[in-house]
Amino acid sequence: MARQRKWMSGLLLSGGLALALSGCGSSSGGASNEPAGNGGTDAGEGAKLNVAATIYPMAEFARQVGGSRVNVVPLVPTGVEPHDWEPSAKDMAAISDADVFVYNGIVESWAEQAIGSAANPDRVDVEASRGLADLEGSVDDPHPGEESEGDPNHADEQGDEHAEAQAKDPHVWLDPVLAQQEVRAIQKALEQADPDYKDHYAKNADAYIAKLEELHQQFVSQLETSKRKDFVTSHAAFTYLAERYGLKQVPISGLSPEQEPSPEQMAQVIEFVREHQVKTIFFETLIDSKLADTIAAETQAGTDVLNPLEGLTKEQADQGEDYISVMTSNLNALVKALNG
């Protein structure tokens, strides 16, 4: 029922879009109430596809493309920051039972292993960011010096974090143009799993991509005249977005919020804020705003939310917020911060 309400309020909020969406919206709301356990059976007459999806944007894109044909099982729960999330036995069973498994790639470091151990030869697995995530992390090492001192065992413990710092940047969904390509990848996977309904998936994908393109055009027109181009974020989630619109992101933390900055890095961000007269320090809804607050207090800057859409809060979900509405809020926040 919660999702039904979410959809209904989403439809009311989106006004003119309601007509285009109502067909798949109302029925996909109902679908979420159905049990998710019909195993690896193919979608025959009337049977919906079970789609297991990792982070919020993947679940949302799968719902938009799948519409009435799919039952989407979101894995990372609402209100949970996904970078260090790992699947439970129940989640693994959902992946194993799914007809399609949708993941972004990179941010779910556990996904490849899950695909192997939750084996299901009939399932279609789709890494939506494949071929799109071409940027390296902008923070090479969140804790310089730590690994070179102390004993080798300590260095080993730091190994994972270091490897993560060197990884590709996963946050492609925050660029409305790359998001369109992720939607296409999900469309292809659904078509492969459910070829009788190819036209249904193509039509839904086209309609949603048109909305993402409209969102992109709003970003272009509202950001091209910005007084300033630099913005300070909580973690380094907005590099693809910044590159798309000619902006520069200065992140406080690394590619993952867990990569906290050293005192030297904090000092560098503070210096940057002063030098470039940055007026707003952005924080996120799913992580502690302590570091952003510290920098804002040091520099007399304000703070505001810039949402990396790694998950909705419970309030946002209840209020019918979705990818497009949150990205529109992000655009408004950026316009305000870059022109204030």
The CA distance from 158 to 165, in Å, is: 11
Binding residues with Zn ion: total (CB under 5 A):
1
Rounded to 5°, angle at Cα 114 from 138 and 87 = 80
Q: DSSP secondary structure string, 248-302?
A: EEEESS-SSTTSPPPHHHHHHHHHHHHHTT--EEEE-SSS--HHHHHHHHHHT-E
Token pair, residue 316, equals: 């946002």
In the bound state, the residue with its beta carbon closest to Zn ion is 237
Integer CA distances (angstroms), 38 to 30, 240, 244, 245, 304, in order: 17, 38, 42, 44, 44
Which one of the spans 234-242, 243-251, 275-283, 332-340 is the region binding Zn ion (CB under 5 A)? 234-242
Token pair, residue 305, equals: 């939310």
Contact between 76 and Zn ion (CB under 5 A)? no
Contact between 237 and Zn ion (CB under 5 A)? yes
Which one of the spans 16-24, 152-160, 237-245, 266-274 is the region binding Zn ion (CB under 5 A)? 237-245
Burial of residue 177 (number of CB atoms within 10 Å: 0-12, 13-18, 19+):
middle
Cβ closer to Zn ion: 43 or 309? Answer: 309
CB of 91 to Zn ion, least distance (A): 19
CB of 15 to Zn ion, least distance (A): 31
Contact between 126 and Zn ion (CB under 5 A)? no
Among 248, 268, 251, CA closest to 260: 251
CB of 265 to Zn ion, least distance (A): 17
Q: Find the binding residues for Zn ion in span 185-214 (CB under 5 A).
A: none
Cβ closer to Zn ion: 84 or 206? Answer: 84
Cβ closer to Zn ion: 133 or 237? Answer: 237
Q: Find the binding residues for Zn ion in span 6-25 (CB under 5 A).
A: none
Integer CA distances (angstroms), 23 to 6, 163, 175, 207, in order: 15, 45, 27, 12
The CA distance from 259 to 310, in Å, is: 16
Cβ closer to Zn ion: 205 or 237? Answer: 237
What is the Cα Rg of the chain in Å?
21
Which one of the spans 24-32, 60-68, 84-92, 236-244 is the region binding Zn ion (CB under 5 A)? 236-244
Among 223, 124, 135, CA closest to 172: 135
Which one of the spans 109-117, 149-157, 223-231, 235-243 is the region binding Zn ion (CB under 5 A)? 235-243
Cβ closer to Zn ion: 25 or 82? Answer: 82
Cβ closer to Zn ion: 72 or 237? Answer: 237
Which one of the spans 130-138, 157-165, 209-217, 231-239 is the region binding Zn ion (CB under 5 A)? 231-239
Cβ closer to Zn ion: 175 or 191? Answer: 175
Cβ closer to Zn ion: 34 or 84? Answer: 84
Q: Give strand pairing partners of 340.
A: none
Token pair, residue 2, equals: 């919660």
**Chain residues that interact with Zn ion, rule: CB under 5 A:** 237
